[in-house]
Structure 1
Amino acid sequence: MNLPKLAIASLGGTVSMQARAVGEGVVPTVSGATLLASIPELRTQAHVTVETLGMLPSASLDFAFLLSVLCWANYQVEQGAVGVVITQGTDTLEESATFFDLLWEHDEPLVLTGAMRSATQAGADGPGNLLDACRVGLAQDSRRRGVQVVMNGQIHSAQAVRKTDSMALQAFSSPIVGPTGLLREGSVYYLRSRSQRHVLPVPHQTAQKVALLQASLSADTLLLDNILTLGYDGLVIASFGAGHLSETWTASIDAIAKKIPVIIATRCGSGSTARSTYGFKGGEMDLVRRGALMAGFVCPRKARILLWLLLGCERQDDVSRYLKENVQFQ
């Protein structure tokens, strides 16, 4: 039988974790091949290649490593894979998905998944999530949709998905828009049509630094006032409400925005920044006048990734356009 080619990479995370001894915490130990062995039915659906690219908790992933994973994934498509699946930890899954989506230029789907329960825990969800992700990777309707996250029977676009619970099985959601699709009885069902995507070139610079600060009640400005002297090339602020800062933080924005891009995103778990509603000092209208950019629906973490990539390919002047056009709900 001439089966389609599917490539799987394991980076580590809870899906690959187990305890070495009773009473010890779980750590990454399970290889990609062992994960694949837990879903033998996949062998009848595709010719599968699997590689273990890392054994890391996802908090320890970084941009340089993700760029190497991207190179691996590109090569798999060049070798004829109709889809690529990556397993990793869920702590940074939404950020990795956004990173890859901004750089993924292929029609073939790139699908990320993980697990909320370790490999040896009762009711481990890793094998089911991996099988679902592979089904999405093989589905014809997954083409030209960019990068997607598959967890707990749901398909989420990379740009909309958030981890919204620290430990529950239903840890991922897409605020406001909901999932892109569902898996039911082994079949893939999409709830929305494809949308246009805007892909960035792979950055030729990787030494740029982008800070992410969060506004909070009565916060001092020590870190904010030293952003430039610390050598940062960009700044994202997780602001109050619809894009608001205190008067003390606002006073620091003028000088910073003259030197580096400053993006104001909302720290709320859902919703967007405003543009023309609040006129007080520190309101979004005031911050825009001072040179800051409003992130809209883009969350602070994803805004930081976008800015890092744009700086890396020297397109920082396009930040505002990409916030409006490229990072949108799929």
Structure 2
Amino acid sequence: MDQPKLAIAALGGTVSMQARNAEEGVFPTISGETLLTSAPQIMTLARVTVETLGLLPSASLDFEFLLSVLSWANFQIKQGAVGVVITQGTDTLEETATFFDHLWDHDEPLVLTGAMRSAAQTGAEGPANLLDACRVALAENSRRRGVQVVMNGQIHQASVVRKTDSLALQAFSSPIFGPAGMLVEETVRYLRQPAQRRVLPLPKKTTQKIALLQATLSADTLLLENILELGYDGLVISAFGAGHLSKSWADIVEKIAERIPVIIATRTGSGSTAQSSYGFMGSEMDLIRKGASMAGFLCPRKARILLWLLMGCQRQAELARYLKEDIRFQN
């Protein structure tokens, strides 16, 4: 019986890092081909195509590069791959996964993974994560689930996964919703049915600029006042609590929302923005009256990516529909 075809792309990140010398720290140096040799069991599971598309720390990835990676992944599916695995750094992994998930229109799974320990460290988990990611990508029950993140034996849905610790091995979680599945004795097991997905077309425009600002206690308004003059096409605010701002910020948001889309998300790290609970100046009800949109369960970083993509394919008028969490998380 022929083995299934699996495609793996390496973008860099901690999983690919080694030290040049003891004083300089680690750098991305290990190719995807070399990384594959650290988990030889993968070659017994599938016919593997592996390519090194970049050796970058994930903070240096950008949307243009990710679109080229997506093009590569789409080609692999057309060539018969039953799944695609991408390795990258963890710093922006949650954002990359979200970006791909909005654009991935195949039944075949796209799985992202990385590592918290570099290849130079004792106990580096990169090879195990890569093997797990490949198992998930090859599993029949992974189909029609869009993009997923596999780390430390857990499977996370791209739309809700977040990096919630800077250095810990168990750095990824899915607040409120929990992991979508896990690997148990090398078997891929899911905890819920695939969620309904709405996929966007590829953006025709990539020059749009979306600002992300965070509200803080007694913050001045200088940056906020200059958002339009600086040429931004959209604004996301990481707001207090359930989506609240100071009165001074709220007054400026009203003027900005007349010109460009404004999304209010919560900075708390978990939970949803409100819709109709608070009525004070700067509350969610006040901001909605002033023309802002509430992000619901969508975190500020993921809200920025959504708005960038919607504007890129000229669908910003559909923003409210995409922010409805009951559609995004329906089982």
Maintained 8 Å contact 2:97/2:158: yes
Q: Please state how far the C-alpha of 1:80 moved relative to its aligned partner.
A: 0.2
Alignment of 1:2-151 (within 5 A): 2-151=2-151
Task: Write out per-residue CA displacement over residues 275-321 of structure 1, whole angstroms, 9 at most, x where no aligned residue.
Answer: 00000000000000000000000000000000000000111110110
For 2:66, give the aligned amino acid. L
What's the secondary structure of 2:8's corresponding residue? strand
The list of structure 1 runs, each at least 4 consecutive aligned residues, that deviate by more than 4 angstroms after superposition, is none
Hey, what's the Cα distance between the residues in 2 that align with 1:144 and 1:210? 30
Alpha-carbon distance between aligned partners in 1 of 2:287 and 2:122, rounded to the nearest angstrom: 50
Cross-structure match for 1:219: 219
Q: How does 1:305-324 map to 2 (within 5 A)?
A: 305-324=305-324
Partner of 1:328: 329
Conserved 8 A contact 2:235-2:263: yes
Q: CA deviation at 1:23?
A: 2.7
Distance in 2, matches of 1:196 and 1:79, equals: 26
Q: Would you say 1:274 and 2:279 are equivalent positions?
A: no
Q: Deviations over 1:5-30 (max 9, x none)?
A: 00000000000000011232000000
Q: Following TM superposition, by how much is the alpha carbon of 1:165 offset from its aligned partner in structure 2, in angstroms?
A: 0.4
> Is 1:183 matched up with 2:187?
no
- The answer as to whether partners of 1:177 and 1:329 remain within 8 angstroms in 2 is no
Q: Which runs of 5+ in 1 are unaligned?
A: none
Q: C-alpha distance in 2, partners of 1:13/1:22?
A: 19
Aligned equivalents of 2:86, 2:295: Cα separation in 1: 28
Is the CA contact (8 Å cut-off) linking 2:163 and 2:172 kept in structure 1? yes
Output one character per residue of 1:156-182: Cα deviation in whole Å (capped at 9) or x when no partner: 000010000000000000001110001
Gaps in structure 2 of 5+ consecutive residues: none
Q: Quick check: 1:160–1:328 contact (8 Å CA) kept in 2? A: no
Letter in 1 for 2:111: V
Whether the 8 Å contact between 1:160 and 1:329 is mirrored in structure 2 is no
Aligned to 2:254: 254
TM-score scaled by structure 2? 0.98
Q: CA RMSD in A?
A: 0.9
SS of the residue 1:155 aligns to: strand
TM-score (normalised: structure 1)? 0.99
**1:206 paired to 2:206:** yes
1:327: how far off? 4.0
AA paired with 1:11? L
Q: Tell me the alpha carbon deviations over residues 224-280 of structure 1, each in whole angstroms, 9 at most, x when there is no partner.
A: 000001000000000000000001101101110000000000001100000000000
For residues 169 and 75 of structure 2, the distance between their equivalents in structure 1, rounded to whole angstroms, comes to 33
Aligned partner of residue 238 in structure 1, secondary structure: strand
**Could you tell me how far 1:125 is from its partner in structure 2?**
0.5
Structure 1 CA distance for aligned equivalents of residues 22 and 298 of structure 2: 42
Cα distance in 2 for partners of 1:21, 1:289 equals 57
Q: Which whole-Å CA distance do the structure 1 matches of 2:329 and 2:260 have between them?
A: 24
Q: Matches of 1:263 and 1:24 in 2, distance apart?
A: 41
Distance in 2, matches of 1:300 and 1:44, equals: 41
| Secondary structure, counterpart of 1:102 in structure 2 | helix
* Secondary structure of the corresponding residue to residue 301 of structure 2: helix
Amino acid paired to 1:53: L
Instruction: Indicate the SS of the match to 2:122.
Output: coil
Per mean C-alpha deviation after superposition, the further-off stretch among 204-213 and 19-28 is 19-28
Checking the alignment, whether the CA contact within 8 Å between 1:14 and 1:115 is kept in structure 2 is yes
C-alpha distance after superposition, 1:183-234 (max 9, x if no partner)? 1111111011112110000000000000000000000000000000100000
1:130-169 alpha-carbon deviations (Å, 9 max, x no partner):
0000000000000000000000000000001000000000
CA distance in structure 2 between the partners assigned to 1:183 and 1:206 by the alignment: 37
SS in 2 for 1:54: strand
